[in-house]
């Protein structure tokens, strides 16, 4: 199961520890109810072991609280529909992302990510900070041991979208993108502007291939998103991925174009 990102994890762990104490439960007794060893409970509470959704669900069972902590994560940390995708993203052997309008979240700089999240003017400063911290924490999947192969296809227009008040942010993002694209496990392919009509115009999507070779797909929209794992839906996304990937430039051609665009921002 996916790790809960910091700083949310520290907060949830603290609440679980307090609830366990209030219930008069030792770590051993709590672990029996949650399905974990006492040493595992101790490591999570001491923040030397990652807090996972499995542990949170176990804590809810042990404390018989009606799923309180799972609801807290959904409310404070991430939408419930997104949790299965986080699980897939963390476990994936390969990730594929098509993005026609933005730099993919796993490749964003802090400044670019903040600017994107800030587009929603209903969010408070604290909420923007929380969402940004979560996004940056997710990026660790690309540098962890046994990191997945990450392949992204992005539209050329994404690289060239920068008004006067966004130039410095975009210049930093382009430089970061160029650096990441040189990593052995990361490939970035640019879909050139001259390909004016393609199946990807219907929206962004991601695919994760798990160690058991099963595929999971994810699509976002204005109201949230959906995670799919049925053979029919996944086959459709894989087919569309192959179409947009075939229209994109090679890895080396893409890096050269990204560098060329970066020069125009400096």
For 53-102, what is each residue's pLDDT tens digit? 889 999 999 999 988 888 777 666 666 677 778 878 888 999 999 999 89
Query: Which whole-number Å values give the CA distances from 216 to 41, 172, 234, in the listed order?
Result: 30, 32, 7
Q: What is the CATH number of domain 83-264?
A: 3.30.870
Domain ranges of the chain: 8-76, 83-264
Q: What is the mean pLDDT of residues 2-15?
A: 72
Please name the helix (run of DSSP H) or strand (run of DSSP E) that holds residue 225, with its range, or none: strand 224-228
Pairing of strands 94-99, 205-209: antiparallel
The model carries a pTM of 0.71
ω before 7 within 30° of 0 (cis)?
Answer: yes
Query: Which whole-number Å values give the CA distances from 117 to 87, 163, 180, 193, 247, in the listed order?
Result: 22, 17, 22, 25, 29
Q: What is the mean pLDDT of residues 244-261?
A: 92
User: CATH says 8-76 is which class?
Assistant: mainly alpha
Neighbours of 86 (CB within 10 A): 22
For residue 1, what pLDDT is reported?
A: 43
Alpha-carbon distance 153 to 245, whole Å? 7
- Whether the predicted pLDDT of 156 surpasses 50: yes
For residue 133, what pLDDT is reported?
A: 81
Alpha-carbon distance 222 to 117, whole Å? 13
Alpha-carbon distance 119 to 115, whole Å? 7
Dihedral in degrees, nearest 10, Cα atoms 236, 240, 241, 245: 160
Q: What is the mean pLDDT of residues 144-172?
A: 88
- Whether the predicted pLDDT of 251 surpasses 70: yes
């Amino acid at each position: 199961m996916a790790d809960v990102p910091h700083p949310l994890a520290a907060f949830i762990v603290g609440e679980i520890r307090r609830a366990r104490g209030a219930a008069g439960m030792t770590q051993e007794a709590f672990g029996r109810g949650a399905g974990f060893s006492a040493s595992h409970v101790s490591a999570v509470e001491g923040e030397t072991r990652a807090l996972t959704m499995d542990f949170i669900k176990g804590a809810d069972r042990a404390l018989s609280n009606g799923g309180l902590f799972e609801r807290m994560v959904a409310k404070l940390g991430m939408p419930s529909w997104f949790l299965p995708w986080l699980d897939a993203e963390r476990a994936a052997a390969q990730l594929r992302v098509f993005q026609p309008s933005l730099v993919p979240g796993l490749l964003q700089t802090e400044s670019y990510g903040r600017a994107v999240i800030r587009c929603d003017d209903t969010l408070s400063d604290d909420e923007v900070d929380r969402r940004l911290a979560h996004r940056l924490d997710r990026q660790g999947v690309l540098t962890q041991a046994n990191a997945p192969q990450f392949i992204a296809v992005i539209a050329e227009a994404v690289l060239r979208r920068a008004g006067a008040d966004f130039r410095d942010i975009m210049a930093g993002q382009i430089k970061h993108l160029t650096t990441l694209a040189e990593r052995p496990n990361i490939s970035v392919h640019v879909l050139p502007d001259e390909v004016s009509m393609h199946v990807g115009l219907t929206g962004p999507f991601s695919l994760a291939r798990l160690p058991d070779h099963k595929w999971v797909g994810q699509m976002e929209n204005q109201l949230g998103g959906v995670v799919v794992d049925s053979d029919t839906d996944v086959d459709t996304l894989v087919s569309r991925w192959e179409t947009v990937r075939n229209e994109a430039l090679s890895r080396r051609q893409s890096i050269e174009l990204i560098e060329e665009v970066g020069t125009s921002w400096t």
